[in-house]
Amino acid sequence: MTETEALSRALIEEAARKSGLIWLQGPAGPSRALWHVWHEGAVCLVGGGAGEQPLDGLGLEDGGTATVTVRSKDKGGRLVTFTARVSELPAGGEAWGAAVAELKGKRLNAVDAEGIEERWARECVVLRLEPRGDGVEPLPDGSLAAVPVASPATTRKAMPAALPRLLRKRRR
C-alpha cells in the first residue's frame, strides 16, 4: 500500500467513524441518505425491512460497487467520496453477528429493541461497503444539487397574512 493509499484509507475511516450519515449511490437510482456504523474497515448498514431504511431502487447487489459520500457531522458538508465494494452479510454468520452488534447500538427509536436481531435476520439485509484501493474521489467544483425524490409527504401552505392580527384580537 502506497503512502497516498494509506492516507486516503485513514481519511475515509476517520470521516466515516465520526459521521452518522452517508449518502449512498448504487448503480441505479439517485443517492440516498442512510445511517451506518464503521466496523472492521468498512461501512456497515442495515435496511430493506419494515420500519428500516429503504434500500430498494439503489441496485445494490453482492459483489457490486457503490459510491459513498461521507458528510461532516457538524456542518453537514461533503468530506470525502469513495467507491466501495458491496457485500451482503449472510444472516446468522459470524461477520453478520459482529456487524449487527455494532448496528444495534446505533439504531435509534427501534420499536422492538429486544427482538431486533431476529427481525433483521428475517426481514432485512445487512450490507458491508468496503472502500476499494483506488482512493478518494476529488471534490467537485459545481453544486451537484439534484431534484428531490418523489414523495407523498407535503408541507404546510403559507400562513394567511391576516392570521397574526386575528390571533392578537382573540387575546384581548
Q: Which residue has the cell 447500538?
A: 105
- The count of domains in the chain is 1
CA 150 to each of CA 52, 104, 146: distance values in angstroms, whole numbers, following the listed order: 19, 30, 12
- 108 or 45, higher pLDDT: 45
CA angle 49, 117, 91 (to 5 degrees): 75
Asked, for residue 169, whether it belongs to a domain, the answer is no
Residue 143, pLDDT score: 79
- Residue 154 is assigned to a structural domain of this protein: no
Q: Is residue 152 part of a domain?
A: no
Residue 96 confidence (pLDDT): 94
Query: Which structural domain range is residue 63 located in?
Result: 3-143
In a domain, 155, yes or no: no
Any domain includes 151: no
Higher-confidence residue: 51 or 25? 25
The pLDDT tens digits of the residues spanning 71-111 come to 988 888 888 999 999 999 999 999 999 999 999 988 888 77
Residue 81 belongs to a domain with what CATH number? Answer: 2.30.110.10
- DSSP assignment of 72-111: PTTT--EEEEEEEEEEEEPTTSHHHHHHHHHHHHH--S-T
Q: Is residue 153 part of a domain?
A: no
Rounded to 5 degrees, φ, ψ at 108 are -95, 145
Nearest to 22 by CA among 64, 81, 63: 81
- Please tell me the pTM assigned to this model: 0.78
Residue owning grid cell 465494494 = 85
Report how far residue 56's alpha carbon sits from residue 99's, in angstroms, rounded to the nearest whole number.
21
What are the backbone dihedrals phi and psi of residue 89, each rounded to the nearest 5 degrees, phi first? -85, 125
Please state, in angstroms and rounded to a whole number, the distance separating the CA atoms of residues 164 and 172: 13
Percent of the chain with pLDDT over 70: 98
